[in-house]
Amino acid sequence: MVPNANSSVISAKALDLTFQTADAPVHALKDVSLDIAQGDFVSFIGPSGCGKTTFLRCIAGLETPTGGTLTVNGMTADEARRARAYGYVFQAAGLYPWRTIAGNIKLPLEIMGYSKADQNDRVARVLDLVELSDFGAKFPWQLSGGMQQRASIARALAFDADILLMDEPFGALDEIVRDHLNEQLLALWTRTNKTIAFVTHSIPEAVYLSTKIVVMSPRPGRITDVIDSPLPKERPLDIRDTPEFIEIAHRVREGLRAGHEDD
Amino acid sequence: MRKIFPVLTVVAAIFAFWYAAVPFMNVKETLTGLERAGAVVVPDNPIERRDASSFGLVLNNSFAIPATYAQERPRLPAPHQVAQDLWKTTVMKKVTSKRSLVYHGWITLSATLLGFAIGTGAGIILAVGIVHSRAMDMSVMPWAIASQTIPILAIAPMIIVVLNSIGIQGLVPKAIISAYLSFFPVVVGMVKGLRAPDAMQMDLLKTYNASDNQGFWKLRLPASMPYLFASLKIGVAAALVGAIVAELPAGGARGLGGRMLTGSYYGQMVQIWSALVFAAVLAASLVLLIGLAQRRALKRMGLT
Amino acid sequence: MTLVILAFVIWVAMWALNTRLANGPRANSRPIQLLVPAIFGLTILVVWELLVHGLNVPLVILPAPSHVVATFFNEIPTLWLDFQQTFIKGALSGYVIGCGAAFATAILVDRYDFLKRGLLPVGNFVAALPIVGTAPILVMWFGFDWQSKAAVVVVMVFFPMLVNTVAGLQETTSMQRDLMRTYGAGYWPSLTKLRLPAAMPFIFNGLKISTTLALIGAIVAEFFGSPTMGMGFRISTSVGQLALDMVWAEIVVAALAGSAFYGVVAMTEKTVTFWHPSQRK
């Protein structure tokens, strides 16, 4: 079943997640409800401890919510994980140093049992997609940080999951590399029409990339604002100097500040 | 409790396995003894029994199982036999008695400690020299590292006999072997430790215009302590092994190594096991003591 | 006396030369790094030779290096026999069995947390004990031939190898494990594709430590009884006959075998863990 354009791919209703720690329970997520539609690019932004990464991990089935419901492609998150419904990109590239770049991209394909020929086709295709075609035979530690992160995105794309979950993927990179990768990511999203959930703590990055910006705040982790971006799908880098862009950025900043006031 | 329980389970499993193995290891000798005493055993022919499997013998002569745990000279003594022998030879004997394990343990321990002290001292001095002199570093260090791949213990008998022939006997030759064995781990660990401070920390001292001496006492030496203690633990265990092996060719049947050797000559398994357990307790206590010293020292330095 | 003075002069000259080389402009180049320890080693041998002749040191105390070398080449058939008995039959077979068993146990222990929490402290404890002490027991159980030597080696290498392998298998980051979970990967894919490769540096550390232990175990076990060959047997009987040149020749064999064994394992490590920061060029 291919979901149509306005059906929700990820749907959370009244999601709660409480960690039991030694001294007091920590409310990582409280009453989080959100629908993400097919083809959306959703950013989660907020200060540390607001639960944005925890929410992403819930969607990935890496954490189990303690209350509420969460469906991914109409299944529970854990079923979706087993059905390999998404590709996940971590804060660090996390490539295996003992495998070449191509070998790293093959890793999920080997685990999922793709044929050898199919593996090679897919590796070539996604390497091309992230513009690393000439580097397949290199080892990760021979590449720059930005290239490593591109390789890890290729790894998440290789098995054609419709959903891409990205947890501050560019957080550790410098501004110039980050701008470049943002541009590339947008182009990739336009071409592949994937649904992307993207965690960040950079306001410009969130506004530049997203169709929907989810502002979160901590203690307890919750959603304080959801902003649907009026920006067009085509976004050159200098869109960041337009009044529309600055206005959305302003609203995000206000939302973040409001979340802080009730500390 | 959560930590202790699995460990206790494993230890209990080891003892259970040990007890279970005793009948099979001892059945043949036990049956021979019982037959001589007039019991009916199956098969009644010693030669057939020699070729039979221990498993079948135990099954066919299950009446003999209790006796396998009470052999005078078992192939595998039961844990309680070892414990009894340990009790008899440590608590019940005067420590000056030749049959007291405490007496033999002390002989081994004194050689170990003397050797360990010499080895450690020399090791630290050489390490300091290596860190301060490039020529010494490049000349000696490759050999010190290579020597760790060589079974140094093999020369123990020779050292004993050579020193014996020039009139040095008793404690000193064993201590030399212990010293030799604890020396190299200390050199290698200490050099690593003295080099542990990174370039930024060294540069900081340079901005204070600190002398080499000040750099050594205020930065290098404190930074080396965790490494030193780690190699001291390896060194003391090696020193004990050295002392025990050094007692083998001495032939004097003194010390824990001597006990093992005489036990092996006369087929006294219980004696070997007691000496082994005693050596194990000794090794564990020495490592534990250094661990305690390590914790105290590092705590005072604020490193833990 | 002149030989003693000559030895002293050579020693001083070597030290001056090495000091110049070590502090010279090309001190960090590969040839110099090899040359300096080589000069040092060679000087030790020369000074040893000169002192033995100059002071008329009797053979029963210290044979001259030239004497040892001569014995080594004259006795090659005997040495070869001893080497086969002790190294190939005793040490090597015990090493393979012991390390293999420890590896299999480690995989098992790693799978069950209860075993891990129970066996690891015990393993760490046993690894620090004087295990050579089991030699007399094992010699009594398995007889005088190489089987008992292999058994001693098995017991000696088992625990260091076990502890290292288990530590290595835990050496993955939570991110790497999460990645495997996002692929819905089960136990075996995670083991073969992530945890075993990540454990390799630790496994090789255990293998390297075990090379030395294997040789020590095989030699020392022969002190408790052996057929009339083997390196440990030859050392103890030659010591008894005061044939120290033969003892030294066996020590040369032991040193060559020990460092070659270690070298082979270290070379294998280099090719297997080429990706590890400590091995990258």
- Total domains present in chain A: 2
- DSSP lists the bridge partners of residue A8 as A37
A90: in domain: no
Closest-CA distance, C119 to chain B, in angstroms, reads: 6
In chain C, residues with a C-beta closer than 8 Å to the C-beta of B154 are 216, 219-220, 231-232, 235, 250-251, 254
Q: What's the pLDDT tens digit per position in C20-43?
A: 888 888 777 888 888 888 989 999
- DSSP lists the bridge partners of residue A44 as A199, A214
Rounded Cα distance between B292 and B94, Å, is 30
**Could you report how far apart the first and last alpha carbons of chain B are, in Å?**
24
Rounded Cα distance between B275 and A17, Å, is 58
- pLDDT score recorded for residue B304: 57
C138: in domain: yes
Order of strands across the sheet that contains A195-200:
A86-89, A163-167, A195-200, A41-45, A212-217, A222-228
CB contact under 8 A, B244 and C132: yes
Q: Is the pLDDT of residue A2 over 60?
A: no
In chain B, residues with a C-beta closer than 8 Å to the C-beta of C140 are 75, 264, 267, 269
Q: Is the pLDDT of residue A5 over 80?
A: no
Q: How long is chain A? A: 263
A189 touches chain C (CB under 8 A): no
A91: in domain: no
Rounded Cα distance between B36 and A65, Å, is 74
- pLDDT score recorded for residue C253: 92
User: Chain C: residue nearest A103 by CA?
Assistant: C193
A2: in domain: no
Which DSSP string do the residues of A31-60 spell out, in sequence order?
EEEEEEETT-EEEEE-STTSSHHHHHHHHT
CB proximity list for C224: less than 8 A, separation 6 or greater: B248, B260, B261, B264, C135, C136, C139
The boundaries of the domain holding residue C48 are 2-56
Which of C12, C52, C132 is the mutation pick for testing B, counting most B CBs within 10 A?
A: C132
- The neighbours of chain C, by the rule of 3 or more Cβ pairs under 8 Å, are A, B
C54 touches chain A (CB under 8 A): no
Q: Are A235 and A170 found together in one domain?
A: yes
Q: What's the pLDDT tens digit per position in B3-40?
A: 788 889 888 998 999 888 888 888 888 888 888 877 77
In chain B, residues with a C-beta closer than 8 Å to the C-beta of C225 are 264
> Which is nearest to B27 in space by CA: B59, B62, B80, B68?
B68
Report the run of H or E that residue A8 belongs to, with start and end. Answer: strand A8-20
DSSP state of B52: S
Mean pLDDT, rounded, for C94-105: 95
- Total domains present in chain C: 2
In chain C, residues with a C-beta closer than 8 Å to the C-beta of A112 are 183
Rounded Cα distance between B159 and C262, Å, is 25
Q: Are A132 and A115 found together in one domain?
A: yes
Q: Are A170 and A146 found together in one domain?
A: no
Q: Is the pLDDT of residue A6 over 70?
A: no
- The first and second tokens of residue C220, run together, are 């020392």
CATH of the domain at A48: 3.40.50.300
Angle between helices B156-165 and C231-240 (to 10 degrees): 0
- The first and second tokens of residue C126, run together, are 């046993």
Chain A residues 190-249 with CB within 8 Å of chain C:
none
H and E: helices and strands count for chain B: 14, 0
Q: Are C93 and C42 found together in one domain?
A: no
- DSSP lists the bridge partners of residue A163 as A86, A195
Percentage helix, strand, coil, to 5, in chain B? 80, 0, 20
Tell me which residues of chain B have a pLDDT lower than 70.
1, 250-252, 302-304
A82, A96, A97 member nearest C184 (Cβ): A82
- pLDDT score recorded for residue B147: 81
CB contact under 8 A, C242 and B161: yes
The larger pLDDT score, comparing residue A139 to residue B152, is at: A139
- Spatial contact of C245 and C59, defined as CB atoms under 8 Å apart: yes
C239 touches chain B (CB under 8 A): yes
**How many CB atoms are closer than 10 A to CB B299?**
10
- The per-residue pLDDT of chain C, averaged, comes to 88
- Amino acid identity, position C121: P
A21: in domain: yes
User: Chain C: residue nearest A165 by CA?
Assistant: C182
Chain C residues 242-261 with CB within 8 Å of chain B:
242, 244, 247, 250-251, 254-255, 258-259, 261
Q: What's the pLDDT tens digit per position in B146-192?
A: 887 778 788 888 888 888 888 777 788 889 989 988 988 899 889 98
C194 touches chain A (CB under 8 A): yes
Q: Are C126 and C201 found together in one domain?
A: yes
Q: Are A188 and A214 found together in one domain?
A: yes
- The first and second tokens of residue C279, run together, are 């091995």
CB burial readout A95-117, b (16+ within 10 A) else e: bbbbbbbbbbbbbbbbbeebeee
- Spatial contact of A153 and A184, defined as CB atoms under 8 Å apart: no
CB proximity list for B53: less than 8 A, separation 6 or greater: none
**How many CB atoms are closer than 10 A to CB C143?**
14
- pLDDT score recorded for residue B252: 62
CB burial readout A34-58, b (16+ within 10 A) else e: bbbbbbbbbbbbbeebbbbbbbbbb
- The first and second tokens of residue B192, run together, are 């690593």
Q: pLDDT band for A64, please (50, 70, 90 cuts).
A: confident
ipTM: 0.82
- Spatial contact of C39 and C14, defined as CB atoms under 8 Å apart: yes
Mean pLDDT, rounded, for A51-63: 88
Rounded Cα distance between C98 and C161, Å, is 8
- Amino acid identity, position C252: V
Closest-CA distance, C191 to chain B, in angstroms, reads: 24
Least confident of A84-93, A231-240, B182-191: A231-240
Closest-CA distance, A104 to chain C, in angstroms, reads: 10
**How many CB atoms are closer than 10 A to CB C153?**
30
CATH of the domain at C197: 1.10.3720.10
Closest-CA distance, B6 to chain C, in angstroms, reads: 4
Closest-CA distance, A213 to chain C, in angstroms, reads: 24
Q: pLDDT band for C281, please (50, 70, 90 cuts).
A: low
In chain C, residues with a C-beta closer than 8 Å to the C-beta of B75 are 140-141
Mean pLDDT, rounded, for A196-209: 90
The larger pLDDT score, comparing residue A136 to residue B64, is at: A136
Rounded Cα distance between B301 and B164, Å, is 45
- Spatial contact of C224 and C138, defined as CB atoms under 8 Å apart: no
Q: Are A55 and A142 found together in one domain?
A: no
Q: Are C16 and C99 found together in one domain?
A: no
- The neighbours of chain A, by the rule of 3 or more Cβ pairs under 8 Å, are C
Q: Are C42 and C125 found together in one domain?
A: no
C279: in domain: no
Closest-CA distance, C273 to chain A, in angstroms, reads: 7
Domain assignments of chain B as residue spans, ordered by start: 4-76, 101-300
Q: Are C260 and C220 found together in one domain?
A: yes
Q: By CB neighbour count within 10 A (0-12 exposed, 13-18 middle, 19+ buried), where does B44 fall? A: exposed
Instruction: Provide CATH code, domain B101-300.
Output: 1.10.3720.10
Q: Are A113 and A210 found together in one domain?
A: no
Q: Are C8 and C108 found together in one domain?
A: no
> Which is nearest to A221 in space by CA: A205, A203, A199?
A199
Rounded Cα distance between B56 and B60, Å, is 6
**How many CB atoms are closer than 10 A to CB B100?**
18
User: Chain C: residue nearest B249 by CA?
Assistant: C236
In chain A, residues with a C-beta closer than 8 Å to the C-beta of C201 are none
Answer whether C touches B (≥3 Cβ pairs < 8 Å): yes
Q: By CB neighbour count within 10 A (0-12 exposed, 13-18 middle, 19+ buried), where does A25 fall? A: exposed
User: Chain B: residue nearest C236 by CA?
Assistant: B157
SS3 C184: coil
CB contact under 8 A, C128 and B283: yes
The boundaries of the domain holding residue A115 are 96-160
Q: Are C240 and C116 found together in one domain?
A: yes
CB contact under 8 A, B9 and C258: no
Domain's final residue, options A139, A160, A181: A160
**How many CB atoms are closer than 10 A to CB B252?**
12
The larger pLDDT score, comparing residue B298 to residue C92, is at: C92
Domain's final residue, options A160, A182, A207: A160
Q: Are A155 and A195 found together in one domain?
A: no
CB proximity list for A130: less than 8 A, separation 6 or greater: A150, A151, A153, A154, A157, A184, A188
**How many CB atoms are closer than 10 A to CB B42?**
14
Q: Are A67 and A102 found together in one domain?
A: no
C172 touches chain A (CB under 8 A): no
Q: pLDDT band for A4, please (50, 70, 90 cuts).
A: very low
Q: Are A74 and A122 found together in one domain?
A: no
- Spatial contact of C156 and C214, defined as CB atoms under 8 Å apart: yes
- Spatial contact of C28 and C75, defined as CB atoms under 8 Å apart: no
CB proximity list for C140: less than 8 A, separation 6 or greater: B75, B264, B267, B269
Domain's final residue, options A160, A180, A202: A160
Mean pLDDT, rounded, for A68-81: 86
Q: Are A71 and A168 found together in one domain?
A: yes
- pLDDT score recorded for residue C241: 85
C45 touches chain A (CB under 8 A): no
Mean pLDDT, rounded, for C177-184: 87
Percentage of the residues of chain A whose pLDDT score is greater than 70:
96
In chain C, residues with a C-beta closer than 8 Å to the C-beta of B275 are 133
